[in-house]
Amino acid sequence: MSALTDSVTSAAAPTNTTAAAAVTPALTASDFLQILVAEFQNQDPTSPTDPTQYASQMVEFSNLGQLQSINQDLQSDQTPQTNLMQAASAFIGRQVVAAGNTIGVQNGKATSIEYAPASSDTYTANVYNGSGQQVDSVSLGQLNGGTLQNFTWSPSSSQPAGLYSVQIVNSKNVALGGLLEQGTVSSVAMASDGSVSLNIGNLVIPENQIASVAQPTSN
């Protein structure tokens, strides 16, 4: 700006350097217009200021106002909820495991179930829809006891997206316990009470129920 603008800004600045470092005076739109009018009224008649300089100053001040507005928005957004959401977003793309026997089906693909057979035997995975009706039975073959296994259902095209339950049974039709839900996090959500849930493909798991987190394994 002109010498008049500089002198007004300089006069408004605090003389205490410590205070100046702690408090930075903000130039409002009203202040700017008053300075611009004073500058126009007190210009040298024999050498008037180029009108384009006034336009340039107004554009610069407009840009400054926008930057200040963006900065204020960013600062106001840094709430505990925002920080929590940023932390929860780190789950996206990670493989998580939680206790349960539910699988989610989305776009023709299902999440997985981890389980450990209690003893060596032949096992079968029975799949049920939300109404409790059995929609599939998959032979898992002979499995060794105490070994960690993974069951990923391949739903038929007639099975809609949604939630299904899985039951792993041995040759005597006795169901295994301790099943684990497994999948890759596609999105996170935060409720009004601050609780976070993770979506692993139409299956939503509360963050506080997650037992482990890992990088997804390649197929």
Q: Quote the pLDDT of residue 80.
A: 57
Q: Quote the pLDDT of residue 125.
A: 98
Coil, strand, or helix at residue 39?
A: helix
CATH of domain 87-214: 2.60.40.4070
Q: Quote the pLDDT of residue 65.
A: 53
Q: What's the predicted TM-score (pTM) here? A: 0.59
pLDDT string in tens for the chain (219-residue length):
444 444 434 444 444 444 444 444 555 556 666 776 676 667 666 666 555 555 555 555 554 555 555 455 545 555 556 666 666 677 888 899 999 999 999 999 999 999 999 899 999 999 999 999 999 999 999 999 999 999 999 999 999 999 999 999 999 999 999 999 999 999 888 888 878 888 999 899 998 898 888 877 655
DSSP at 16: -
Coil, strand, or helix at residue 182?
A: strand
Task: Spell out the residues 6+ positions from residue 100 whose beta carbon is closer than 8 angstroms to its own.
Answer: 179, 180, 181, 205, 209
Q: Quote the pLDDT of residue 45.
A: 67
Q: Quote the pLDDT of residue 192.
A: 81
Q: Quote the pLDDT of residue 89.
A: 72
| Domain-wise residue ranges, the chain | 3-73, 87-214
Q: Quote the pLDDT of residue 37.
A: 67
- Report CA-CA distances (Å) from 170 to 124, 125, 134: 6, 9, 17
Tokens of 77: 């957004």
Q: Quote the pLDDT of residue 75.
A: 52
- Quote the CA–CA distance of 66 and 62 in Å, as a whole number: 6
Q: Quote the pLDDT of residue 27.
A: 55
For residue 90, which of 183, 187, 180 has the smallest C-alpha distance? 187
Tokens of 162: 């949604």
